[in-house]
Amino acid sequence: MKIVVLSRNPNLYSTKRLVEAGKARNHEMLVVDHSKCDIIIEKKKPAIRYKHELLKDVDAVIPRIGASVTFFGTAVVRQFEMMKVFTAIESQALLRSRDKLRSLQVLSRAGLGLPKTVFTNYSKNVKDVIKDVGGTPLVIKLLEGTQGLGVVLAENDNAAESVLEAFNGLQARVIAQEFIKEAKGADIRVFIVDGVVVGAMKRQGKEGEFRSNLHRGGTAEIIKLSIDEENAALKAARIMGLGIAGVDILQSARGPLILEVNSSPGLEGIEGATNVDIAGKIIHYIERHVDVD
């Protein structure tokens, strides 16, 4: 097969591992910078041009779309779909996952456990927002933030009011979320491929840091999921329509709470913690779904 990895940087760990795994299975692997593609729209002849040439005879696409280029990256994925190319992550699911507010609404409707969350349209009644999430401490998140950026822990009412008022003044869209104290600065990343949990790790924030992101100095170790945690992660990925997903879960006194469902989860942390060939499982997923004569 000819498999395209949509990635802006061929030297990223995840991109390199996918290429290695594909080549190990005798597939032709091509890394394409989606931000430099031209989308050609014509009646019954959709096409994509990259580096002055049309991309032809592509059997499958693995999107690795960064949050900063979601709009155009998703358009490129959608164009491949119009060209009848299998995409490991569908364009609509990608868009749905990037909208944090919409994601929480969809997951809530499905009956999944979530931290209590409040979103307002730059409301000046910040005291009501704080009250609605159960008081302080509380977490305030930028809707467009990734990898722990744009996430603030407000430990008291004065701090929470100040941060909310500052973000509102800047017209930055944020959500306020209850702080799950018993999680102790840790969360679980569950990696799912084609409806199966292929790896899980517990991420612990460094001392004094409530965010557990590995990019921010957190550590990771393999973890055995409870039945409730596994079921919650699988349901979240299914509800979001994602064939590949990284589901982030908080362990709470009332059971697993879904923090986020990531459509472009990194491979480095999960492969390092579990010693599982996740990239290979993604290639196998594509092989199962693409018929090549």
For the segment 63-67, the average pLDDT, to the nearest whole number, is: 92
114 contacts 257 by C-beta, under 8 angstroms: yes
Mean pLDDT, all residues of the chain: 92
Going by pLDDT thresholds of 50, 70 and 90, the confidence category of residue 41 is: very high
* pLDDT confidence of residue 212: 53
- Phi first, then psi, for residue 33 (nearest 5°) are -80, 105
Q: What CATH number is given for 2-89 in this structure? A: 3.40.50.20
183-229 tens-digit pLDDT: 988 999 999 999 999 999 999 876 655 555 555 557 889 999 999 99
Going by pLDDT thresholds of 50, 70 and 90, the confidence category of residue 68 is: confident
Domain boundaries, the chain: 2-89, 117-179, 182-263
- Phi first, then psi, for residue 105 (nearest 5°) are -65, -45
182-263 classified as CATH 3.40.50.1000:
no
Distance CA 136, CA 111 (A): 25
The superfamily CATH assigns to domain 117-179 is ATP-grasp fold, A domain (3.30.1490.20)
61 contacts 87 by C-beta, under 8 angstroms: yes
* β-sheet with 138-142: strand ranges across: 117-119, 174-178, 138-142, 151-154
> pTM, whole model, 2 decimals?
0.90
Distance CA 210, CA 203 (A): 11
239-279 tens-digit pLDDT: 999 999 999 999 999 999 999 999 999 999 999 999 999 99
Distance CA 102, CA 258 (A): 14
273 contacts 220 by C-beta, under 8 angstroms: yes
Distance CA 281, CA 21 (A): 9
CA distance readout (Å), 146 to 112, 236, 257 = 22, 19, 19
- Block residue for tokens 């924030």: 205
**171 — alpha (psi -120 to 50), left (phi > 0) or beta?**
left
SS (H, E, C) the chain: CEEEEECCCCCCHHHHHHHHHHHHCCCEEEEECHHHEEEECCCCCCEEEECCEECCCCCEEEECCCHHHHHHHHHHHHHHHHCCCEECCCHHHHHHHHCHHHHHHHHHHCCCCCCCEEECCCCCCHHHHHHHCCCCCEEEEECCCCCCCCEEEECCHHHHHHHHHHHHHCCCCEEEEECCHHHCCEEEEEEEECCEEEEEEEEECCCCCCCCCHHHCCEEEECCCCHHHHHHHHHHHHHHCCCEEEEEEEEECCEEEEEEEECCCCCHHHHHHHCCCHHHHHHHHHHHHCCCC
**241 — alpha (psi -120 to 50), left (phi > 0) or beta?**
left
For the segment 60-73, the average pLDDT, to the nearest whole number, is: 93
Going by pLDDT thresholds of 50, 70 and 90, the confidence category of residue 57 is: very high
The more confident residue out of 83 and 99 is 83
* pLDDT confidence of residue 122: 82
- All residues at 6 or more sequence positions from 225 whose CB lies less than 8 Å from its CB, including other chains: 188, 190, 197, 200, 233
* pLDDT confidence of residue 124: 83
Distance CA 90, CA 87 (A): 6
pLDDT at 155 over 80: yes
